[in-house]
Amino acid sequence: MTQLFIIGNPRSGTSLLRLMLTCHKNIIIPPESHFFLWLEQTYCNWNEKEGLDQFLIDLFASTKFETWKVPYQELKEYLMKMNCKTYSDLIQSIYLFYGLQHNKKNIKVWGDKNKLWKEKLNTIPNYFPKGKYIHIVRDGRDVASSFLRLHRRKIQSLYAPKLPHEITEISKRWNDNIIAIETFLGRISNENKLIIKFEDLVLNPKSELLRISEFLNIPYDSEMLNYRAINNIEEYEPKAFMPWKDKLNELPDKNIIGRYTDDLTKRQIKIFEEFNKKLLKKYGYQ
């Protein structure tokens, strides 16, 4: 069983990539939730069924876990049957149970997409030492454009992301996040990490998904390109998240590449480029 962790800046295509991949017949990547990180400190020394009832109480109280629409009693019975001996077993079993709820019968890869991973990346290898990582990168100026567009929409939702809307803070956030991810991935063997660009995923989705399938050692599945129709049936992306992820209902739009030239002022572009000159050049954006 392969564990996959999708990491990247917010508004960089992590949700699009997750949705595409989870439409593969052998992959399950549930909606974003934070229980693995939040509960790890309390339950890291998990010992089989001891404390299962309290764990489930804490699990179901975790923000966003309710969007998985997992039945409590069925999950409890499944975990008891699985006889999870470690915290790793416990977490993996919950992800696999979500897959079973969506009729995934032959899961070879389960994964997680979580913008909080970069704040606690070093935790993951403690539990999944052979885990694989995909870092998706997007032009930071377009990320800034997306942040500002989202801020202007003033979405009222418990789940809505809280993102900076000042160009200096956005510039620093993009920089800090990429450096943190690069530092972490420096510890990971080359065969267990892959960097892709959002722009390539939008312009050549099949080519990038073929590359990812090879990275995961599984056959390519064309259903990954059918993610919109599948999501309408399975609701892999919760409706509660769609107010700011509405682009997932559309085909990838190449016109959003370079949109910052219309959205940002010359001053904003200059601030971002001066702060992130090295990283923009490194990833081919200058």
What's the CATH number where 262 sits? 3.40.50.300
8 A C-beta contact, residue 280 and residue 140: yes
Q: What count of residues does the chain have?
A: 286
Angle, alpha carbons 246-65-227 (nearest 5°):
35
For residue range 25-79, list pLDDT tens digits in order.
999 999 988 899 889 989 998 876 568 999 999 999 998 999 999 999 999 999 9
Pairing of strands 2-7, 109-113: parallel
81 DSSP 8-state letter: H
Number of separate domains in the chain: 1
105 DSSP 8-state letter: -
Q: Can you read off the two tokens belonging to residue 127? A: 């539990």
Tell me the sheet residues that pair with 113. 6
Phi, psi angles (nearest 5°) of residue 12: -115, 10
| Entry pTM | 0.94
Which structural domain range is residue 54 located in? Answer: 2-282
Predicted confidence band of residue 117 (pLDDT cuts 50, 70, 90):
low
Per the listing, tokens 């694989």 go with 132
Mean pLDDT score of the chain: 92
